[in-house]
């Protein structure tokens, strides 16, 4: 999964909720692969030497810290959403697909900014508090704070956040 992420070949995820008694889909959402953060990939322990596929290592996808705004709802409360609304949501997120954004940094900073614990109005320091996680995900980068500032500007240009004052931002979505 990490290799797929590094090649930016992460597939989009469809997440479904359903009523098992009624055999009915109650919700269906899409997390576009280009917004999938590397930090959501949690490696499992490799299979032991006696296992049929000894050494194979899977992963768990931890989506618990992702904000609902990163998901595109397709079915809500059992009702199919209007196609135009779905396409509009996808189009507004698709600007993250560009080559300039494919390093994974944008998805990670977006995950931090859109975390449920982040206040609507936040500062650079609020994002800098996650430097250790970002440094572990991108060990080749020696200037984490500058990269965070750059990605905040990318998110601003994409319409996710707005500039309030020097070092201060506001979530718009």
pLDDT of residue 14: 93
Residues pairing with 41 in the sheet: 61
pLDDT of residue 32: 86
Strands of the sheet with 161-165, listed across from one edge: 121-123, 168-171, 161-165
Residue partners of 168: CB distance under 8 A and separation at least 6: 121, 122, 123, 124
Output the CA angle 150-133-161, nearest 5 degrees: 35
DSSP state for residue 23 in the 8-state scheme: T
Q: What is the CATH number of the domain that holds 99?
A: 1.10.10.10
Burial annotation 54-64 (CB, 10 A radius, 16+ → b, else e): eeeeeeeeeee
Q: Which domain holds residue 6?
A: 2-171
Query: pLDDT of the chain along its 173 residues, tens only?
Result: 777 777 777 788 899 999 999 899 999 999 888 777 778 888 899 999 999 999 888 888 888 777 777 789 999 999 999 999 999 888 877 766 664 455 678 888 988 888 777 888 999 999 999 999 999 888 889 999 999 999 999 888 877 889 999 999 998 86
pLDDT of residue 98: 63
**Could you count the other beta carbons within 10 Å of the beta carbon of residue 24?**
10
Output the CA angle 85-159-170, nearest 5 degrees: 120
Closest Cα partner for 104 from 2, 23, 22, 13? 2
Q: By 3-state DSSP, what share of the chain in percent is helix, strand and coil, each rounded to 5?
A: 40, 25, 40
Number of domains in the chain: 1
């Amino acid at each position: 999964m990490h290799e797929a992420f590094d090649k930016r070949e992460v597939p989009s995820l469809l997440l479904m909720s359903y009523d098992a008694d009624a055999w009915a889909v109650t919700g269906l959402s899409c997390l576009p692969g280009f917004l999938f953060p590397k930090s959501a990939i949690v490696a499992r322990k490799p299979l032991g030497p006696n296992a049929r596929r000894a050494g194979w290592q899977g992963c768990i996808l931890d989506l618990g810290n992702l904000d609902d705004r990163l998901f595109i709802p397709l079915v809500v409360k059992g009702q199919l959403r209007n196609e135009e609304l779905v396409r509009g949501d996808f189009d507004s997120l698709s600007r993250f697909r560009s080559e300039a954004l494919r390093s994974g940094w944008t998805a990670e900073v977006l995950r931090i900014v859109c975390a449920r614990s982040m206040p609507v109005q936040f500062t650079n320091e609020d994002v800098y508090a996650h430097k250790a996680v970002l440094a572990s995900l991108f060990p080749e980068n020696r200037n984490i704070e500058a990269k965070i500032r750059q990605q905040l500007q990318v998110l601003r240009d994409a319409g996710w956040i707005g500039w309030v004052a020097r070092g201060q931002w506001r979530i718009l979505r």
